[in-house]
Chains A and B, each alone.
Chain A
Amino acid sequence: MNPATLEARQQAVYHQLRRVMDPELGMSIVKLGLVYDIDVQQGAAVVTMTLTTPGCPLEDAITQGVERVVGELPWVERVDVKLVWHPPWHPGMIR
């Protein structure tokens, strides 16, 4: 995959992720700074992200939402969501 296509696909994933809102805070997971990294490989998109707190009750809803919206992209065959807790999220990460 050439760098331009890679960049375009990463931006497309970010664009989709802006639809995934934290219903409590009323902000997208991108604006909240929860998305740490996006890796695009052929038909796979790997989203490395965190949540506002470990054990967050929204964990299943948000990870399934991420899988759903990213999976809507025509070139995506598989979505992997990697939840990480380091660095821990704090309000200063809000963009």
Chain B
Amino acid sequence: MPPLVLPAQHFAAALVWLALGAAGLIIIAPDLARGAFLTPRVIAVTHCFTLGWITTSIFGALYQLYPVALGVPARSIRVAHVTFWALLSGTALLVVGSWLWSPAALAAGWLVMFGAVGGQSWNVVAGRRRATRGKTIGLYVSAGHMGLGLAMFVVAVRIGAAFDWWSVDRLGVLSAHAHLAVVGFATLTVVGVGSKLFPMFLLSRGYPEWPLRWIGPLIFGGLVLFTPGELMHVRWLVVGGGGAMALGVVLYLALVSRYVRTKTKATLEPALAHGILALAFLAVALMLGVTVLLRPWSARVITAYAAAGILGWLSILIVGMYYKIVPFLTWLHWFSPKVGQPGLPKVADLVWTRAIWATLALLGAGIATLLMGVLLGSGNAATAGAAAYAAGVGLVVAQYVRLAAHRPAQP
């Protein structure tokens, strides 16, 4: 297993980005309600979530997961630390560069980020070839990193256009970039990692394995059609690729519903309830995505689609996974030498369950209100939703600050 500090620094940085993103969301909510998704500050806040929160969390979690699920640790802890700092500084450059619309900062951020993704791929993802188990997870994570790499190359075209080196269709590039990153990288990685974590946490049994042989190829194959379709304006490629991705997502939703229906755990923990809520927003994003596919120029629907996918689906899911992973790592740190002693707390005892339910309510109500505000064009509703979402995020961050600051009572 890696030293605790490695995932911990990723998770701490990711939580800071989540808080920054949530604060920024309140500022950009009126822009979102106008469907103005191309403004520099909307792009900046979006990257607080996509790179700062989601990607940093995934990178940190993979250091912990690969030794367990695939039997392969990171090749080098030193490279892992360098990669972390590259990821952190690359994200900061891209966020600041977007907010101030500085092509130089964007180009520098892209280069640093390229190093971070390359470092992570060499250090962790390439370990799939040495894996003794968990082949499916490894395939999904590798495919996800291919999606991330392609997303970076596609956006490099846009950065070049910002220098006036050439001209590109901004919407086509943006759509290809966003789908490669959010669907190709993050969603494929979550599907792969979730194929182990969901059944494990729910104690599911008797669920089918075969959908995983189709979900990945449908989503990745869909992206292979969709991306050139968007870049070259070939409508049938866009519709065909989008349709394949949608089918893959439908199959995934069906698979997770089987995990839930075959669970042997009597109660649904609040952490996993976050996962269920996130899946509900994935279904919402799916419906909005199909609408966008059929009516491509509805700016507010496009904005709502992206918000449902990034803020509803991925962000809430990762908040839920944190409630499982971070207290567990904290428990291991403080209590693993004391197993067998009476009075030892459970992992769930380290966090305040009512606060977790409260974050679920705030995040769920917040994003639902935000989406309604965006779809109806109401800046006030969007801002109210963003404020509720930010309050939920504040509660999430407060829990971890408390967990980090207070040594738990020893038995």
Which residues of A does B touch, CB under 8 Å?
A: 19-21, 23-26, 52-58, 60-62, 64-66, 68-69, 90-92, 94
Q: Are B336 and A58 in contact (CB under 8 A)?
A: yes
Name B residues whose Cβ lies closer than 8 Å to a Cβ of A. 1, 64, 67-69, 71, 133, 196, 200, 203-205, 264, 328, 331-332, 335-337, 339-342, 344-348
Question: Could you list some 25 contacts between A and B, CB below 8 A?
Answer: A19-B342, A20-B339, A21-B339, A23-B328, A23-B339, A23-B345, A24-B328, A24-B346, A25-B203, A26-B346, A53-B68, A53-B196, A53-B200, A54-B71, A55-B67, A56-B68, A57-B1, A58-B332, A60-B336, A62-B339, A64-B336, A64-B337, A64-B339, A91-B204, A94-B203
A65 touches which one: B64, B196, B340, B346 (CB < 8 A)?
Answer: B340
Looking at chain A's contact residues, the main secondary structure is: loop
Which residues of A lie under 8 Å from residue B203 when comparing CB positions?
25, 91, 94
When distances are taken between beta carbons in the complex, the residues of chain B under 8 Å from A52 are 200
9 more A-B contacts (CB under 8 A) besides A21-B344, A90-B205, A94-B203? A23-B339, A24-B346, A24-B347, A55-B67, A57-B64, A58-B332, A58-B336, A61-B335, A61-B336
Contact present for A68 and B339 (CB under 8 Å): yes
Cα A95 to Cα B347 with chains together (Å): 21
Assess whether B332 is in contact with A61, with CB atoms less than 8 Å apart.
yes
Q: Which of A24, A68, A94 has the most CB of B within 10 A?
A: A24
- Complex CA gap A56/B339 in Å reads 15
CA distance A53 to B132 in the complex (A): 13
* Distance between Cα atoms of A55 and B73 in the complex (Å): 11
Residues of chain A contacted by B337 (CB below 8 angstroms)? 61, 64
